Amino acid sequence: MLPVIESYGICKNFGTTSALDDISFTVNESEIFGFIGPDGSGKTTLFRILTTLMLPDKGNMKLLGMDNIIHYKELRENIGYMPGRFSLYQDLSVEENLNFYATVFGTTVDENYDLISDIYSHIEPFKKRLAGKLSGGMKQKLALSCALIHKPKILVLDEPTTGVDAISRSEFWQMLEKLKTHNITIIVSTPYMDEAMRCDRVALIQNGKILLIDRPEKISEGFSRKLFKVKASEKYKLIISLRKYSETITAWPFGDSVHLTLKKDKADDSLLVFLKKEGIPDPVIEEAKAGIEDRFLELMEKGSNE
């Protein structure tokens, strides 16, 4: 089966800034493919090229077997796009927005309602409310409904959960997972590492380059060292002290603990002795499994050292 998206050597420059550098990847049908990377990494630029809204400087791309430059008109009918920070007309109501999008794509709300009903049902009670007056979570659901109303084969979501609370984020991902059953291929970008775990495959992107593409579990498995978790009641003091320890390679705060890598991959008594001397009497040190964020930090540091 042919991949739904094929990208080869895509490059894009803005003046002297290289926004995208040799971006190559493929996406298969019904996959949820995630681009994980910080602001400025090139995700939005890539998505604009994917959705035929911007031309690359180099490289080529095929979506649904069609060249993205030659067949841009046909592709636009088959792509749903939810750009970063909402795409809604603030002074139109919920139902006016939805009707507008349906009309622009030459369809009606009724025709594809079954596709969006799960999502839209959350906001339907507010259908007369102006989009500008909706909460973040509701805007997100409306924007998603508008992106799906013409039943696209490919859905492109640029940071759909930024600025939204943890509960709404979780609900949103549940909705995306349901869309897979409709054979919709989903491309999504997010700065939230934990959302990477909900994708089928993930591309880590930084400074316009792809660092790695793989299944999320595989990405964390590739962490090159042993990882240690250290806990103590005074977190900041702990971080500063760990960084002073001669065997430390990296010490990063991670929620309620510090993730530590050591030169010899061994945490022994000398660490405990050191920390006691630093005024940290009872640290808890244990070996831990690296997560996707640990790997991303490792790759980022390697990238900046090259």
Phi-psi sector, 279: left (phi>0), alpha (psi -120 to 50), beta: left
Is 124 one of the binding residues for other proteins (CB under 8 A)?
no
Q: Specify the residue, 184 or 299, whose C-beta has the smaller distance to other proteins.
A: 299
CB 49 → other proteins: shortest distance, Å? 20
How many residues in the shown chain lie near other proteins by CB under 8 A? 37
Q: Which long-range contacts (CB under 8 A, 24 or more apart) does 10-18 make?
A: 10/46, 10/49, 10/56, 10/58, 10/59, 10/60, 10/61, 11/56, 11/57, 11/58, 11/59, 12/42, 12/45, 12/49, 12/54, 12/56, 12/57, 12/208, 13/57, 18/208
What is the per-residue binding string for other proteins in 186-205, x denoting contact by CB under 8 A? -----xxx------------
Is 90 one of the binding residues for other proteins (CB under 8 A)?
no
Is 40 one of the binding residues for other proteins (CB under 8 A)?
yes
Write the CA distances from 56 to 51, 53, 76, 181, integer angstroms.
12, 10, 17, 32
**In the set 31, 158, 195, 293, which binds other proteins (CB under 8 A)?**
293
Is 88 one of the binding residues for other proteins (CB under 8 A)?
no
CB 163 → other proteins: shortest distance, Å? 6
Write the CA distances from 201 to 32, 139, 178, integer angstroms.
7, 27, 17
CB 134 → other proteins: shortest distance, Å? 9
**Residue 168 contacts by C-beta under 8 Å, 6 or more apart in sequence?**
136, 137, 140, 161
Is 83 one of the binding residues for other proteins (CB under 8 A)?
no
**In the set 162, 197, 200, 226, which binds other proteins (CB under 8 A)?**
162
Is 66 one of the binding residues for other proteins (CB under 8 A)?
no
CB 257 → other proteins: shortest distance, Å? 9
Q: Which stretch binds other proteins (CB under 8 A): 112-120, 172-180, 209-217, 289-297?
A: 289-297
What residues pair up with 205 in beta bridges, in sequence order? 210
**In the set 163, 177, 263, 268, which binds other proteins (CB under 8 A)?**
163
CA proximity to 84, closest of 167, 186, 14, 162: 162
Is 166 one of the binding residues for other proteins (CB under 8 A)?
yes
Greatest alpha-carbon span in the chain: 72
Interface with other proteins (CB under 8 A):
37-41, 135-137, 159, 162-170, 191-193, 206, 233-236, 239, 252-256, 293, 296-297, 300-301
